[in-house]
Structure 1
Amino acid sequence: MKQSFSQNMFILKELVIKGIRLKYRRSYLGILWSLIEPLLTMIVLTVVFGTLMGVHDKTFPVFILTGRLLFGCFSQTTNNSLKSIRANAPMIKKVYVLKILYPLSGIIFNYIIFMISLVVLAIVAVVLGVYPTVYLLQIIVPLINLFLLCTGVGLILSTIGVFFRDMEYLWNVLLMLVMYTCAIFYKPERLLKSRYGIVLKGNPLYCVISNFRSCIFGEVMNYKYLIYSFSFSVVCIIIGFVMFKKCEDRFILNI
């Protein structure tokens, strides 16, 4: 049974709304947690790593928060995508809905929550003296880049997760590796100049975070990072879509 574009968009919208509601179900503060949680994490990381590394820059919390927010978005969207098909198994077995809508809805609703959390970043930045400049107009580019990266990786994981359930645990380990190579709580300048700099430059999420920080701190984006991370994201989307469409008819046998 084929569905029209408008029907699919309506279903996708409802799945996104359902995802947001379920995420904060039984939470007294509800969606306010999307503002409070990154703020509390920023304070802890600033105290711990700022003290350990002897950082006295008053804008260091903004540096940490930018990395924390973007990594958090990537982590949440990919984890949700990884579990999306199995989590919606009862609905998939009973109702015909384009299966790709399930991982897409998880990516979109987590991305919406991430966009809301940017309010915290704006407030913290102004309070600590990081004021908007003309370079802030570039910010739409890394934000789009982040969404594309989450979508591409998410589609790949949503397919693998159906057939290889251990991927859920393996991905959590890989995410830890991604986190440490994103320079979230340490300044990357010294590492970039060493022979290990390729580890950061090879991480597309670090490239997105670096360009996002450039927009916040009033600098020109690194266009090599931009080209690499965009290219990586588009390739992931193509691979993820092909994998998903090729395997989706077998999902019902494995959920």
Structure 2
Amino acid sequence: MRYLKNFWKYKGLLREFVARDLKVKYRRSFLGYLWSLLSPLLMMIVLTAVFSSFFKFDIPNYPVYLLSGQIIFTFFSESTSMSMTSILSGGSLIKKVYVPKYIFPVSRVLSSFVTLLFSLVAIFIVILFTGVKITPEALFFPFPLLCILIFSIGMGLIMSVLAVYFRDMLHLYTILLSAWTYLTPIFYPISIVPDYVKTIIYSNPLYYYVEAFRDVVLYNQLPDFHTNFMCILFSLISLGLGLTIFYKNQKNFVLHI
């Protein structure tokens, strides 16, 4: 309860940090926020041209399939990568005045989430052009987005701590994300992979967030109980671990930044 009160007390500062991150991201950009729409569309066109010929018999409406997975994974990748450097880049401010340190990684995740929301327009456009039906089940789309947001906040808190104490993580995490991309069925159907690889994929939290999002925007159905349960479980575990690790180590940040 004390942490919630503290969070509410500094909500204005958190909002300013999010706005600052967005301004820095699109500073001197001619198209500005429009890139949040164009970037996933352009990437989808390229990947669709490359992979659709391979999977066209297994995956109907491949552009929507690809884009829905791509947007979820891109948000997670961007938000956690930005969170890693948040404490290090805010070191000068942390040393001068009291600021709740969790604001730095959380603001990075929230600014990336704003970009994700803009990217949803891209999915809507592709759905219209490909003729995918829009049903009442589509109204359930906020649920997987909320789950991946909570999961990313937890992971962002963990990664920000690791980056302070182990600078090599800044480089290792890039490699980890590359491997994570291929272990998440973004551009391929899970049916084509061997059983031992499926076991690994089923232990991948992002698999469930992607599947839940695809269920509502592509397959016109609500995610089943197992998918919903796994989404919530991984989100709560990530947030719990993130908060615990962050609060146990934040007092020593000034010694390492």
Task: Determine if the TM-score, normalized by the shorter chain, exceeds 0.5.
Answer: yes
The CA deviation string for residues 152-180 of structure 1, in whole angstroms up to 9 with x for no partner, is 11111111111011111111111111111
Indicate the residue corresponding to 1:195 in structure 2.
196
Check conservation: 1:59, 1:128, Cα contact below 8 A: yes
Q: How many residues align?
A: 251
The CA deviation string for residues 52-96 of structure 1, in whole angstroms up to 9 with x for no partner, is x15266611111000110000000110011111001111112221
Check conservation: 1:201, 1:225, Cα contact below 8 A: no
User: What percent identity do the matched residue pairs reach?
Assistant: 35
The Cα shift of 1:123 comes to 0.9
Extract structure 1 runs of 4+ deviating beyond 4 A. 3-7
The Cα shift of 1:129 comes to 0.5
Residue 22 of structure 1 pairs with residue 36 of structure 2: no
TM-score (norm 2): 0.93
The Cα shift of 1:189 comes to 2.4
The CA deviation string for residues 177-234 of structure 1, in whole angstroms up to 9 with x for no partner, is 111111111111233x733211211111011101100101212313212212321221
Indicate the residue corresponding to 1:34 in structure 2.
36
Alpha-carbon distance in structure 2 between the residues aligned to 1:70 and 1:6: 27
Check conservation: 1:78, 1:157, Cα contact below 8 A: yes
TM-score (norm 1): 0.93
Alpha-carbon distance in structure 2 between the residues aligned to 1:245 and 1:154: 13
Q: Counterparts of 1:1-255 in structure 2 under 5 Å?
A: 7-51=9-53, 53=54, 55=56, 59-191=61-193, 194-217=195-218, 218-255=220-257
Unaligned runs of 5+ in 1: none
AA in 2 matched with 1:216 = V
Unaligned runs of 5+ in 2: none
Secondary structure of the residue that 1:36 maps to in structure 2? helix
Alpha-carbon distance in structure 1 between the residues aligned to 2:6 and 2:154: 24
The CA deviation string for residues 109-157 of structure 1, in whole angstroms up to 9 with x for no partner, is 1001101110110111111011211221221211111111111111111
Q: Give the direction of change, closer, same or farther, for the CA distance of 1:131–1:167 in structure 2 (3 Å limit).
A: same
Check conservation: 1:74, 1:150, Cα contact below 8 A: yes
Check conservation: 2:144, 2:231, Cα contact below 8 A: no
Please, what is the CA RMSD of the aligned residues?
1.7
Q: Give the direction of change, closer, same or farther, for the CA distance of 1:208–1:19 in structure 2 (3 Å limit).
A: same
Q: Give the direction of change, closer, same or farther, for the CA distance of 1:223–1:5 in structure 2 (3 Å limit).
A: closer
